[in-house]
Amino acid sequence: MMLAQSIRRTISHLSPPMCRPLSARIVDKVNIEVQPAQTGADAGAGGAVLTFPGVWLRDNCRCPACYHSSSQSRQLDWNHFDPGVHPLALHVDAAKEQLHVRWSDAHESSFELDWLRRRSFDGQSQSAYLNDFYRPRTSHWAGAQFEQIVQRFSYDQVMSEDEALQHWLKALAVYGVVLLNGAPLDEGVVRRLAERVGFIRRTTYGEEFIVQAKPGAKNYAYLSLPLPLHTDLPYYEYKPSVNLLHCVVQTQSRGGSNLLVDAYHIADRLRQEQPEHFERLSRTPVDWNDIGSEDGREFHNIWRAPVICLDADGNYTRINHSVPQRDSHFNVPLGQVLPWYESYARFVQLARGDAYSFKTQPGDVLTFNNLRLLHGRTGYDDTADNSRYIVGAYLDWDIIYSRLRVLKKRLSKASGTAAA
Ligand SMILES: [Zn+2]
């Protein structure tokens, strides 16, 4: 009995009194149950039993034939993978905290306890991983709560300190809006910020874009009129995720205020108070469009999607709203049209009533989630020596989340705590 011998050896050479050494057993022929070592003092969460499906362990064998370590990629031959593969025998090395498995396909694998623990199948560990490492859990807010939820970071610190960069991106993920202060007044700020995270997301309107009143503007935003609440580019399947709006010159006229609404909060309200409106807005596909030309290149963008987009679990994935950029084509059955208009009018009314108004100052960079927040602007008047001038750019969530995970691993390594 190799297992029993190994346990006896472990007991004899470990100094702290062990109530129970590391052990493992096969359960129901297909699963492997790992019982981490428990000392008298450590009978808590660290010592809880971990159960792993054998097929998953075999699929995740770390040996050089199954796993390419320099690319951190699986290289198991999946053309011949048998989902019926199961463990035949286990061996535990308590001193090295390793589990060795002999499989029904004649293969052998070894796993570190720490590696196993970080991939625990228990619900609490999985939701901690999903809400911390995968994507931070969002927190929704009403306009009246804006001053409590908005965080402000120094542009210089975000550019030079990883902790500040991490705090900015995390707050952006959780609340959907963050203000950066003290940026220089040159046109390169949004590019430098985007490149600090990853890279700029290019759109029909270029990489950086200037929001300034222009006579004969080809985009509705490039007027000094009030700009009603909207999300940018709803007519893209891959809608740019995050707006960076750098205020270089602010208007001295009364207007030019930013309006912001957390549309996830508006959707929450509809869901609770008027579920029939919520249902229609989350099920009725709307044609969003944008037609024009930029730098001599013609475009005709269309994307069909509901106002409130949900994933399979009912979580919000994206909000679409734009009065100018909603197509006159509306490809739904006749009977759905009027009810949809009633629901959409309610959504717009709730959003307008909730909008928080504030005015950025030169050197501020307003950063917000374009999949979630509605933004707008009050009208303003330019004068000969005061012309409102905002430079914008977009970042995508894939790039931001990736940066956040890399930062989390790097910073937790530096502080000696575990990241996934
Ligand atoms: Zn292997």
- Computed over every residue of the chain, the mean pLDDT equals 92
pLDDT score of 11: 44
Q: How far is the CA of 100 from the centre of ligand 1 (A)?
A: 11
CA angle 90, 95, 97 (to 5 degrees): 55
Question: What CATH number is attached to the domain comprising 336?
Answer: 3.60.130.10
List of residues 6+ apart from 27 with CB closer than 8 A: 33, 51
Q: How far is the CA of 155 from the centre of ligand 1 (A)?
A: 48
Check whether residue 127 and residue 144 sit in a common domain.
Answer: no
Q: Could you tell me if residue 415 is inside a domain?
A: no
> pLDDT digits over 63-100, tens only?
999 999 999 999 999 999 999 999 999 999 999 999 99
Q: How far is the CA of 402 from the centre of ligand 1 (A)?
A: 28
Q: How far is the CA of 51 from the centre of ligand 1 (A)?
A: 20
pTM listed for this prediction: 0.90
Q: How far is the CA of 60 from the centre of ligand 1 (A)?
A: 8
Q: What is the pLDDT averaged over residues 137-147? A: 98
Q: How far is the CA of 76 from the centre of ligand 1 (A)?
A: 7
Strand 373-377 to strand 258-262: parallel, antiparallel, or no bridges (unpaired)?
A: antiparallel
Q: How far is the CA of 92 from the centre of ligand 1 (A)?
A: 17
For residue 177, how many other CB atoms are within 10 A of its CB?
A: 25
| Range in 124-128, 200-204, 390-394, 412-416 the model is least confident about | 412-416
Check whether residue 216 and residue 296 sit in a common domain.
Answer: yes
Check whether residue 88 and residue 230 sit in a common domain.
Answer: no
The percentage of the chain sitting over the pLDDT mark of 70, rounded to a whole number, equals: 92
Q: Could you tell me if residue 293 is inside a domain?
A: yes
Q: Could you tell me if residue 203 is inside a domain?
A: yes
Check whether residue 214 and residue 358 sit in a common domain.
Answer: yes
Domain that holds residue 279: 137-409
Name the pLDDT band for 2 (thresholds 50, 70, 90).
Answer: very low
Compute the residue count for the chain: 420
Residue 9: is its pLDDT beyond 70?
no
Structure tokens at 268: 């929450």
Name the domain boundary from 88, 115, 133.
Answer: 133
Largest CA distance in the chain: 91
Q: What is the pLDDT averaged over residues 308-322? A: 97
Q: How far is the CA of 23 from the centre of ligand 1 (A)?
A: 22
Check whether residue 116 and residue 160 sit in a common domain.
Answer: no
Q: What's the half-sphere exposure (Cβ side, CA atoms, 13 Å) at 328? A: 1
Check whether residue 111 and residue 162 sit in a common domain.
Answer: no
140 CA to centre of own chain: 14
Q: Could you tell me if residue 420 is inside a domain?
A: no
Check whether residue 188 and residue 93 sit in a common domain.
Answer: no
Q: What is the pLDDT averaged over residues 366-388? A: 93
pLDDT score of 81: 96
359 CA to centre of own chain: 27
Name the domain boundary from 133, 149, 164.
Answer: 133
Q: Could you tell me if residue 416 is inside a domain?
A: no
Q: How far is the CA of 7 from the centre of ligand 1 (A)?
A: 25
> What amino acid is encoded at 253 in this protein?
S
pLDDT score of 38: 85
Q: How far is the CA of 66 from the centre of ligand 1 (A)?
A: 4
Check whether residue 47 and residue 153 sit in a common domain.
Answer: no
Q: How far is the CA of 63 from the centre of ligand 1 (A)?
A: 4
pLDDT score of 219: 72
Check whether residue 125 and residue 144 sit in a common domain.
Answer: no
List of residues 6+ apart from 150 with CB closer than 8 A: 175, 177, 178, 179
Q: How far is the CA of 109 from the centre of ligand 1 (A)?
A: 6
Q: Could you tell me if residue 177 is inside a domain?
A: yes
Check whether residue 123 and residue 58 sit in a common domain.
Answer: yes
Give the count of domains, the chain.
2
Q: How far is the CA of 108 from the centre of ligand 1 (A)?
A: 6
Q: How far is the CA of 61 from the centre of ligand 1 (A)?
A: 5
Gap between the Cα atoms of 176 and 156, Å rounded? 21
pLDDT score of 317: 97
Name the pLDDT band for 16 (thresholds 50, 70, 90).
Answer: low
Residue 29: is its pLDDT beyond 90?
yes
Q: What is the pLDDT averaged over residues 102-128? A: 97
Check whether residue 74 and residue 155 sit in a common domain.
Answer: no
Question: What CATH number is attached to the domain comprising 125?
Answer: 3.30.2020.30
Q: How far is the CA of 81 from the centre of ligand 1 (A)?
A: 12
pLDDT score of 265: 98
Name the domain boundary from 133, 150, 180.
Answer: 133
Q: How far is the CA of 11 from the centre of ligand 1 (A)?
A: 30
pLDDT score of 6: 47
Higher confidence at residue 331 or residue 8?
Answer: 331
pLDDT score of 47: 77
Q: Could you tell me if residue 284 is inside a domain?
A: yes
Q: Could you tell me if residue 417 is inside a domain?
A: no
Name the pLDDT band for 44 (thresholds 50, 70, 90).
Answer: low
Check whether residue 118 and residue 245 sit in a common domain.
Answer: no
pLDDT score of 1: 41
| Closest-CA residue to 263 (of 150, 356, 201) | 356
